[in-house]
Structure 1
Amino acid sequence: MSVLTALARVKATQEGRAQRLVSMRHTYLSERPLVVIPLRMAGETAAPLAFMIGSNPAAPTLLVAHQPRDRALRFRFLADVADQILPYIESCCATPEIITTKSGEELVSYGDAPQLIVPNGGGATFLRLLGRSTRFRQIEGPYAVPENVPLLGRWLTWFAARAEQPGSANLLSMTSVLSAHWATGQSGLEDANLAALLGWIDPPAGLSGAAAAALAEDPLHSPPAGPATDPGFDNEELKPLMDAHDAAIDDRAREVTAERLEQALRLQLEPTWRSMWRAIELLEKLPPGASVAARWGRDRADFSWFAGNLAEAPPQARRDAAVSAVRTLLKRERALEEFDAQRAFDDPWVMAEHRLVGNACHATVLEADPTRTVTGSGSRKTLRPSIRVQITDEAFVATVGEKYSCVERPKQAATVIDIDSDTVELELSGGMGRKLVPELGSVPEAGDRIGFARFSPSSGHPMPSLPPREETPWTHGGPPPEWVPNEDDAQEEWS
């Protein structure tokens, strides 16, 4: 936790209301997100009990597995879930466009991408487990499942992978998104409770954040947001209703008990459904950061690629091979680095955190030489303006030869060429045009107040060269065998 975040938490406790950590929203919000609230069977990690799902706040769809332990009923229920999620995904493929890459390859690009929003991190984990337990199932043979179930599993696995990609917005955990934008007066563990978190951010009239959060922790007032249910509800309501459904002697009795079970689960899920849309409204009031749209563009590109290769590719492997695992890890590390930098360049509140620890600074331009040139190889002159600045942040210590990024002009770099007492001379490069005279406004002038950072919003680290799959070194297990999906892949012990 940073100093400013700790200060915001102290202030939230004093004022009884959550404090904003950022001045803008750093997460993309679709105009038509699909809210998914899953519940699972107690003691059965991958056994779905119910889903409340939909993209219309006024018309949620409730799906119930009346007996999750029954394999046939479970997969029939998952087929119903697929009937809700897959059409939503397909609707994002309505406007395909053919684009040509620099290498001349033609790719299909869709104008939109799906966005699933779950209440908390547990909901995202449950979707990942559900995807892994369904994507390997066979639609023919003795244990056949409905045709759309394996397809649902592959898509849920894709969403789970996107959730682990920093900056991605294809699968969002609402508590994580809210916690990234507001600081409360409670612990991080308590922030995982959606109702309590919202109690601090937007408490009801007449209540402080602490009082609203305490009220939200009462399971009778605010049932858990899933995927686990309240033990009291399990013992006092759910178990008797499921036992009665199992003991029904005819269709009429089974129908009555099913209606009672559905009503009980609806009452458990509706408060969370309302909280989800209330949270979405709060986030929509924040202006989006400048880099949000570009990150969503990468989400759309990944969606377009996966959708275009879905029919020909096998289900995702249970475990990545060594080379693909390293490649995935490197991509996520670079994405996290870029996401943190982009948030700071977009938002002065986030940049203040970096200034506090000496990773960024504000400076005042004392003098500028916008037409300065240097002579490179072959006696060719290159435009390299210089500016002398006075750095105002005590935590920032400049070093000769160090290279910074300009906050106001992210495409422009500044290299320290001289330090004299309390002033620093910087050589500028990039973002000024191709001539020996800089474009208007591309070079700071005397009196300007500008910022510099030791990081850049675009990663300058190229991906290292990795060996092809067939040349995996022995230290990493050697070349992996060709993976062929089978039914046993879905029988893994859940954890």
Structure 2
Amino acid sequence: MSVLGALAKATAARTGRAEPIADRRHYHLSARPLVLVPLRLAGEAAAPLAVMFGTGRHDSTVLIVAQPRDRVLRLRFIEQLADRVLPYISAFCEDAEELTVKSTGETYLRYLDAPQLLLPNPGGIEFLRLLGRSVRFHRTEGDNAVVESLPLLGRWLTWFGDRSDFPGSSACLAMTSVLTTHWASGQSALEDGNLAALLGWIDPPAGLTGPQAAALAEDPLASPPAGPATDPGFDNEELAPLIAAYDGAEHEWAKVIAAERLEQALRGQLEPTWELMWRAVDLLRALPEGASVEKRWTDDRSAFSWFVSDIPEGYPQARRDSAVSATRRLLKQEQALDTFQAQRAFDDPRVLIEYRLVGEAFQGTVADCEPDRRAKPKSREVPRPYLWVQTTDPFRGRVGETLIRIDRPAQKVEVVAVEDGVIQLELVSGMGQGKNPAAGSVPEEGDAIGFARFSPTGFAGPPAKLPPREETPWTHGGPPPEPNLEPVEEWS
């Protein structure tokens, strides 16, 4: 936890209300997201019990499994879920733009929008990932064949789970994680995993403080868990007898009545979380979107478009990544994290404060400038204005280092001198292509300005180069060793 994050939590605990730690929304929110609230049977890793889903607050559907241990009923449940989720995904495969790869000249399609799944917490995402893994390898022909929609849904659930691992991706979001990126509560990180308690701190009901609202959220009768696990008291006192009644029903009409009673009980567990999800969506939509969010959503759209094109001829995702695939995946995630952190800082002044505190960036005022200065670093004379920026931030500039301007990331400066809180800078780029600087590209005296040591493309250096497959050891996914066909005697 950063110093600013610790201060925000301490302030929230003192005031009784969550403190904002971001002034911008750093995730894309679709105009029509698919909100899912899943429940699973306790003690079973991927046994679905119920799910409530829909694209609007007043447009919800509930599916249940009357006996989650019955494989046939579970597959029927997943088939019903596929019949509703797959059309939602297919709706985004209608409008596309044709793009060209500059290096090769090849063209490809990128869809203009992409689906977005919203779930209460990371546990819900992990449950969907396990649910996808349980059906994506099912065969659609031969013995025990299933309908084609089951393995297709399994592949999509796996894809959404994989995208959720990439920092900055908005294709599949856990609401508790998104909220804690924008607000700091006065409770522990473990308690922040309770969606009702977290929203109690962020937006408490009238007349209540954050701690009081969070305490009410701990009552499983008034605020059932957001899943995927249910409350043990509900399991013992309501769920188990209802499932037993369904199993013991001897007539079809009796099973229908038992299933209806079970659905009613499960709705009571799902509906409070459903309301909390849309309340959280409203809070996030009230924040202005960060400037770099659209770029990251474009990456999500590209990944979605690529996966759509790969489905007809591709195979289900592997159960486990090979060593090389896992390395590449880890490198991409690390690079995505670096980029996400840097872009958040450039988009959001409140996030930038964390980097100002540790001396990675600074804000100041232009005390003096020399806009008409020119220099001849190479063959021709070019504009090289000087700036003298006064700052009180604990920034220790190194002469000759390159800094990035916060409000104009394309503009770079070099540190010329540092003395008594005044940093002398030389503008070296981002002033246009003409002989004279473009209008507005050179700051004026009295302007507020900021610079950072890192760029919005991330902190990391160039990506690591992995050896080709033929040079990779067989223990890490390379070709197997050549067999030794020479007979070897024990005594030789």
Deviation at 1:8, TM superposition (A): 1.8
Tell me the amino acid that sits aligned with residue 177 of structure 2.
Answer: S
Is residue 56 of structure 1 aligned with residue 51 of structure 2?
no
Distance 2:139 2:264 in 1: 33
Structure 2: segments with no counterpart, 5+ residues: 482-492
Q: Which residue in 1 is equivalent to 2:425?
A: 426
Distance 1:371 1:304 in 2: 49
Deviation at 1:474, TM superposition (A): 4.7
Deviation at 1:147, TM superposition (A): 1.5
User: Residue by residue, what CA displacement relative to the aligned partner does 1:148-188 show, whole Å, maximum 9, x if unpaired?
Assistant: 11001110111011101110000000011111111111111
Please say which of residues 4-13 and 123-132 is displaced more in the overlay.
4-13
Q: Which residue in 2 is equivalent to 1:106?
A: 107
Using a 3 Å threshold, how does the CA distance of structure 1 residues 474 and 430 change in structure 2: closer, same or farther? farther
Distance 2:85 2:225 in 1: 23
Distance 2:473 2:447 in 1: 55
- In the alignment of these two chains, the number of paired residues is 479
Deviation at 1:6, TM superposition (A): 1.9
SS in 2 for 1:60: strand
Q: Which residue in 2 is equivalent to 1:214?
A: 215
Residues 322 and 472, structure 1, Cα contact 8 Å, conserved in 2: no
User: Residue by residue, what CA displacement relative to the aligned partner does 1:278-300 show, whole Å, maximum 9, x if unpaired?
Assistant: 11111111111111111111111
Deviation at 1:398, TM superposition (A): 0.8
Distance 2:473 2:381 in 1: 47
Residues 469 and 477, structure 2, Cα contact 8 Å, conserved in 1: no
Please say which of residues 244-253 and 136-145 is displaced more in the overlay.
136-145
Q: Which residue in 2 is equivalent to 1:438?
A: 437
Q: Compute the TM-score of the two structures, normalised by the length of structure 2.
A: 0.94
Tell me the amino acid that sits aligned with residue 397 of structure 1.
Answer: R
Distance 1:248 1:321 in 2: 48
Please say which of residues 145-154 and 458-467 is displaced more in the overlay.
458-467
Deviation at 1:76, TM superposition (A): 1.0
Matches within 5 A, 1:380-419: 380-393=380-393, 395-419=394-418
Deviation at 1:253, TM superposition (A): 0.7
Residues 366 and 389, structure 2, Cα contact 8 Å, conserved in 1: yes
Matches within 5 A, 1:56-455: 56-102=56-102, 103-377=104-378, 379-393=379-393, 395-455=394-454
Using a 3 Å threshold, how does the CA distance of structure 1 residues 475 and 314 change in structure 2: closer, same or farther? closer
Distance 1:475 1:419 in 2: 53
Distance 1:369 1:207 in 2: 56
Residues 392 and 421, structure 2, Cα contact 8 Å, conserved in 1: no
User: Residue by residue, what CA displacement relative to the aligned partner does 1:132-159 show, whole Å, maximum 9, x if unpaired?
Assistant: 1111111122222222110011101110
Distance 1:321 1:373 in 2: 55
SS in 1 for 2:243: helix
Residues 383 and 435, structure 1, Cα contact 8 Å, conserved in 2: no
Residues 114 and 304, structure 2, Cα contact 8 Å, conserved in 1: yes
Deviation at 1:321, TM superposition (A): 2.3
Tell me the amino acid that sits aligned with residue 113 of structure 2.
Answer: D
TM-align CA RMSD: 1.7
Distance 2:12 2:419 in 1: 43
Q: Which residue in 1 is equivalent to 2:462?
A: 462
Residues 154 and 315, structure 1, Cα contact 8 Å, conserved in 2: yes
Structure 1: segments with no counterpart, 5+ residues: 482-495
Using a 3 Å threshold, how does the CA distance of structure 1 residues 48 and 452 change in structure 2: closer, same or farther? same
Q: Which residue in 1 is equivalent to 2:488?
A: none
Residues 2 and 353, structure 1, Cα contact 8 Å, conserved in 2: yes
Deviation at 1:426, TM superposition (A): 1.8
SS in 1 for 2:413: strand
Deviation at 1:477, TM superposition (A): 4.6
| Identity in percent | 59
Distance 1:373 1:313 in 2: 58
Distance 1:423 1:205 in 2: 48
Tell me the amino acid that sits aligned with residue 64 of structure 1.
Answer: I
Moved over 4 A (4+): none
Please say which of residues 149-158 and 460-469 is displaced more in the overlay.
460-469
